[in-house]
Amino acid sequence: MTAPLLRVENLAVSFPIRPRGAWPWTPSLELKAVGGVSFSLNAGETLGIVGESGSGKSTLARAVIGTIPSSGGSVEWEGRDIAALDPRGRRALRRDIQMIFQDPLAALNPRMTVGEIIAEPLVTHHPDLSRAERREKVADLMARVGLLPNQINRYPHEFSGGQCQRIGIARALILNPRLLICDEPVSALDVSVQAQVINLLKELQGEFGLSLIFIAHDLSVVKHISDRIAVMYLGRLMETAPAKALIRTPFHPYTKALVASVPIPDPETEAKRRAAPISGELPSPISPPSGCVFRTRCPIARESCAGERPPLLEPQPGRFVACPFHDG
């Protein structure tokens, strides 16, 4: 069995928070954004990460690529600890792992043309290329993502949201990366445009041989592109399973609530369905509940849930759930 392309072990991220108006000598509070998350990603695979806003999905992605420091755990790329890489290794890693962001227009420099935006990584990582060679690569990639070559000298504000996201995708792919991290790339787009961007990503994945981490809060979006889905809640993993199995038979109570909230296209079936929403509000990550972090909103919570943090159990091969009382 081949080793995974990416392995994350017990990754934790926390931030010191000083209360507003506090005295200088007042101790800082600790915001636990990610609390010991583990997963792996194989070459050519798509892992969907889903959960409510504030569950730590984007923070996890940024900790994986190193744009924010982790407070514990490890991230391995092809068996090598990223934290132990020398500057040359880190530079190579930046070529291999690229990211697409949530707000397509805000992620683009408004003072640069589309051609300059897409070509910028080439200037940094391949300075030996001539201007004509860079322009040729940019024009070719623009065509692959559905942009016209004659748009190369336009500015981001001249494009729609969907077109700006295509520009962001082209910029991310210009270095031929092996892993693309998509941080809610369609949440700011119309539904019809969302489908176009997702289909484009699936096509490009096959063409470039990409691995994907696709982050979203909408399970109906994640299920269409993912091979496996990881469900996060308050910085913790609740369940990980193959996408079809997780949608068909969710095990964890939180996963069940997310699946039940996905709308059904048939109006009559949707009207008859009685999906109970999750009660209560998301607790503060500064003072998360003891034991199982979902217990304050869980319909099957017991007194023992307030004790130790439940481990990820494996009731089926390749399927993990952080609940000893699941009925899967």
pLDDT digits (tens, 9 = 90+) for 64-84: 988 899 999 999 999 899 988
**What confidence tier does 274 reach under pLDDT thresholds 50, 70, 90?**
low
Annotate 173-204 with DSSP letters as a single string: HTT--SEEEEESTTTTS-HHHHHHHHHHHHHH
pLDDT digits (tens, 9 = 90+) for 166-198: 999 999 999 999 999 999 998 878 888 998 999
List phi, psi (to 5°) of 110: -70, -15
C-beta atoms surrounding 308 within 10 Å: 10
Q: From residue 201, how far is each of 44, 158, 163, 194, 310 by CA, in Å?
A: 12, 23, 14, 11, 35
What burial class does residue 291 get, using C-beta atoms within 10 Å of its C-beta: 0-12 exposed, 13-18 middle, 19+ buried? middle
State residue 275's pLDDT score. 58
Which among 267, 224, 280 has a CA at the least distance from the CA of 247?
224
Instruction: Say if residue 272's pLDDT is above 90.
Output: no
- Tell me which CATH code domain 6-16+30-111+173-321 carries: 3.40.50.300
Task: Give the mean pLDDT of 110-139.
Answer: 94
Pull the structure tokens for residue 150. Answer: 């004659």
Strand order in the sheet with 46-50: 97-100, 179-183, 211-216, 46-50, 228-233, 236-242, 319-321, 313-316
Q: At 98, which amino acid appears?
A: Q
Pull the structure tokens for residue 310. Answer: 């439940």
Q: 43-65 burial string, b = 16+ CB within 10 Å, else e?
A: eebbbbbbbeebbbbbbbbbbbb
**What confidence tier does 279 reach under pLDDT thresholds 50, 70, 90?**
confident
Which among 216, 215, 162, 166 has a CA at the least distance from the CA of 190?
162
pLDDT digits (tens, 9 = 90+) for 209-264: 999 999 998 888 898 899 999 999 999 999 999 999 999 999 999 999 999 887 66
Q: What share of the chain is helix, strand, coil (3-state, %, to 5)?
A: 35, 20, 40
Instruction: Say if residue 111's pLDDT is above 70.
Output: yes
User: pTM of whole model > 0.95?
Assistant: no
- What is the chain's length? 328
